Amino acid sequence: MNQKPEPFLYTESVAHTFPDGVAAIIDISLSIEAGSYVSLVGASGVGKSTLLRIIGGILKPSGGEIFLKGGSPEKAGDPIGIVFQRDNLMPWRTVIDNVRLPLELRGVNGKEAIIEAEEMIELVGLSGVESSYPAQLSGGMAQRVAIARALVHRPSLLLLDEPFGSLDALTRERMGQELLHIWHAMPVTVFMVTHSIHEAVLLSDEVLVMTGRPGTLTERLPISLPRPRLLEMQATTEFQECASAVRTAIEAGRVL
Ligand SMILES: Nc1ncnc2c1ncn2[C@@H]1O[C@H](COP(=O)(O)OP(=O)(O)OP(=O)(O)O)[C@@H](O)[C@H]1O
Ligand SMILES: [Mg+2]
């Protein structure tokens, strides 16, 4: 490739002030390449969820613009998958009925929807629990259902807002590895908010750091560790250096 392609996603001076006057984010310009895995870290309240919601089209920014594939996200017409910190499953629907919900909303029903949903359930390692209800699942399983639901309409962009925040450390590590497996198996760009520096470094091509109030992007750290990223890598000097660079960038913002 001799000509640099248009970034898959970019934001131009995005800002948001809530109607009550709280300025959450300011002047956020970022670009994300197609197929990459990018994480966003920063202290609590810095505006990470606000930015994610704006990129996902759930919240309209009070300033700036978002471009997906060079145009407005509406024009691109690509579905976007979103996983929230809490799984947000519908308790009265079975696993398969939760997973096929986005298809149903787009008018895709019947056998086609079932086949697609079953495929995603298998991808997230949940075959066999299709007829269970959310209350019968562990926290990790429920989050996997939420991930399957976000992927069922084959989005080109998957947004994750602290998807493993409520899970124990070991399950969380396993889920991270599973996400990498999914990312390798599907042509999807991932943008993930996380509180875990180690998780961000282990999974990502790039870690973005937000600081300040209102929050803005203050650091962009490429992670050049080789892939596949295995848990054991966390013990290497290279990994530790990346993690400490991210930590320093987050801390730098605290004293501003
Ligand atoms: N609906 C809302 N109305 C008014 N202010 C809001 C609203 N949602 C968020 N805020 C404010 O915007 C700022 C950023 O919030 P946001 O939830 O984006 O932060 P965050 O970085 O995701 O935090 P956390 O890590 O705790 O999830 C905070 O000051 C918050 O109080
Ligand atoms: Mg948040």
Query: What's the average model confidence in pLDDT over 148-170?
Result: 93
Give, in degrees to the nearest 5, the angle at Cα 163 between 161 and 166: 120
Nearest residue (by CA) to ligand 1, atom 12, is 24
Best probe residue, ligand 1, of 18, 41, 84 (max atoms within 8 Å of C-beta): 18
In the predicted model, what is the mean pLDDT of residues 17-32?
A: 97
Average pLDDT over residues 232-236: 96
Of the ligands numbered here, which is closest to the C-alpha atom of 160? Answer: 2
pLDDT, tens digit (0-9, with 9 covering 90-100), for 70-126: 888 888 778 899 998 887 899 999 999 999 999 999 999 999 999 999 999 999 999
Determine if ligand 1 sits within 6 Å of the CB of residue 49: yes
CA distance 32 to 47: 18
Torsion angle of the four alpha carbons 216, 34, 85, 91, in this order, in degrees rounded to the nearest 10 = 150
Mutation choice for ligand 1 from 49, 52, 218, CB with most ligand atoms inside 8 A:
49
Number of the ligand closest to the Cα of 46: 1
Q: Which of 16, 40, 48 for mutating ligand 1's site (highest number of atoms within 8 Å of CB)?
A: 48
User: Phi and psi at residue 203, in whole multiples of 5°?
Assistant: -95, -25
Among 66, 145, 160, 39, CA closest to 98: 145
Which residues are in the CB-under-5-Å shell of ion ligand 2? 49
Q: How many CA atoms are closer than 13 Å to the CA of 168, on its beta-carbon side?
A: 4
- Environment class of 16 (CB within 10 Å of its CB; exposed 0-12, middle 13-18, buried 19+): buried
**Per-residue confidence band for 256, with pLDDT thresholds at 50, 70 and 90:** very low
- pLDDT surpassing 70 at residue 255: no
- pLDDT by residue (tens digit) across 191-227? 999 999 999 999 999 999 999 999 999 999 999 999 9
Length of the chain, in residues:
256
Reply yes or no on whether the pLDDT at 146 is more than 60: yes
Asked if pLDDT for residue 161 goes beyond 70, the answer is yes
What confidence score (pLDDT) does residue 17 get? 98
Mean pLDDT of 31-40: 97
Residue 160 has pLDDT above 50, yes or no: yes
Quote the CA–CA distance of 23 and 70 in Å, as a whole number: 27
SS3 assignment for the chain: CCCCCCCCEEEEEEEEECCCCCEEEEEEEEEECCCCEEEEEECCCCCHHHHHHHHCCCCCCCEEEEEECCECHHHHCCCEEEECCCCCCCCCCCHHHHHCHHHHHCCCCHHHHHHHHHHHHHHCCCCCCCCCCHHHCCHHHHHHHHHHHHHCCCCCEEEEECCCCCCCHHHHHHHHHHHHHHHHHCCCEEEEECCCHHHHHHHCCEEEEEECCCEEEEEEEECCCCCCCCHHHHHCHHHHHHHHHHHHHHHHHHCC
Note the pLDDT of residue 153: 92
pTM of this prediction? 0.95
pLDDT at 11: 97
234 Cα: distance to centroid of ligand 2 (angstroms): 25
Structural contact between residues 139 and 167, judged by C-beta atoms closer than 8 angstroms: yes
Q: Which residue has the higher pLDDT, 126 or 256?
A: 126
What is the predicted pLDDT for the residue at 2?
A: 54
Query: Quick one: pLDDT at residue 4?
Result: 62
* 211 C-beta closer than 6 A to ligand 1: no
Q: What is the mean pLDDT of residues 1-17?
A: 84
Average pLDDT, the chain: 93
More confidently predicted of 202 and 256: 202
The protein residue with its alpha carbon nearest to ligand 1, atom 13, reads 24
Of 210, 215, 235, 211, nearest in space to 225 by CA = 235
Return the number of other C-beta atoms located less than 10 Å from residue 187's C-beta.
9
